[in-house]
């Protein structure tokens, strides 16, 4: 059985397998005014996505604080997947999620991550790279495997 997922080059039973690249970033010590600036954060991840060569499909932002703790969310939908940021202003925390897939996913993700890290003032950042489509890769490498 041959499977094609989302137009991004993932095909079981073929040697052209291309996994996704997913990085989670947890920033601490980010100034409150940055954590509340949804327009700045959306602009940052939008520009970083474009600079990486990713295709931006849509984007949105929302500022919290009316009936919840202060902070915001910014989201960029990509043809390759997505980039998002969620903040907790009162604690100076920012969580970013950078996920791309396709033949150049690792390079695109790395460029977006580097741009976000350099543009956000912070005291510490922790990043975790998650393997994506690992089950598909295992299935693709097993002769006759269909999941």
Domain that holds residue 12: 1-19+132-147
Q: What is the DSSP letter of 90?
A: G
Query: What is the arithmetic mean of pLDDT over 66-80?
Result: 94
The answer on pLDDT for 141 being more than 70 is: no
pLDDT of residue 65: 82
More confident residue, 138 or 33: 33
**What's the mean per-residue pLDDT of the chain?**
85
Q: Do 34 and 93 fall into the same domain?
A: yes
CA distances from 40 to 90, 138, 143 (A): 18, 40, 49
105-114, pLDDT tens digit by residue?
A: 999 999 999 9
Q: Do 29 and 13 fall into the same domain?
A: no
C-alpha 27/C-alpha 126 separation (Å) is 7
pLDDT of residue 138: 60
Query: Which of 12, 52, 81, 105 is an active site residue?
Result: 81
The answer on pLDDT for 129 being more than 70 is: yes
pLDDT confidence of 78, banded at 50, 70, 90? very high
Full-model pTM: 0.80
Q: Do 15 and 74 fall into the same domain?
A: no
Query: Which of 8, 22, 82, 86 is an active site residue?
Result: 86
Does residue 82 have an active-site annotation? no
CATH code of residue 84:
3.60.90.10
Does residue 35 have an active-site annotation? no
Q: Do 10 and 47 fall into the same domain?
A: no
Q: Do 30 and 93 fall into the same domain?
A: yes
Pairing outcome for strands 71-78 and 56-64: antiparallel
Percent of residues, the chain, with pLDDT higher than 70: 78
14-51, pLDDT tens digit by residue?
A: 434 457 999 999 999 999 999 999 999 999 999 999 99
C-alpha 28/C-alpha 94 separation (Å) is 7
């Amino acid at each position: 059985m041959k499977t094609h997922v989302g137009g991004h080059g993932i095909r079981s039973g073929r040697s052209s397998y291309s996994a996704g690249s997913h990085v989670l970033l947890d920033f601490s010590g980010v100034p409150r005014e940055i954590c509340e600036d949804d327009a700045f954060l959306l602009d940052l991840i939008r520009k970083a996505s474009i600079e990486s060569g990713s295709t931006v499909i849509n984007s949105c932002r929302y500022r919290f604080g009316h009936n919840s703790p202060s902070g915001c969310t910014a989201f960029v939908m990509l043809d390759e997947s997505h980039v998002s940021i969620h903040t907790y202003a009162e604690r100076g925390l920012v969580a970013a999620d950078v996920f791309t897939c396709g033949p150049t996913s690792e390079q695109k993700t790395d460029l977006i991550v580097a741009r976000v890290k350099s543009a956000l003032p912070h005291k510490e950042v922790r990043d975790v790279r998650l393997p994506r489509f690992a089950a598909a890769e295992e299935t693709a490498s097993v002769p006759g495997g269909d999941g």
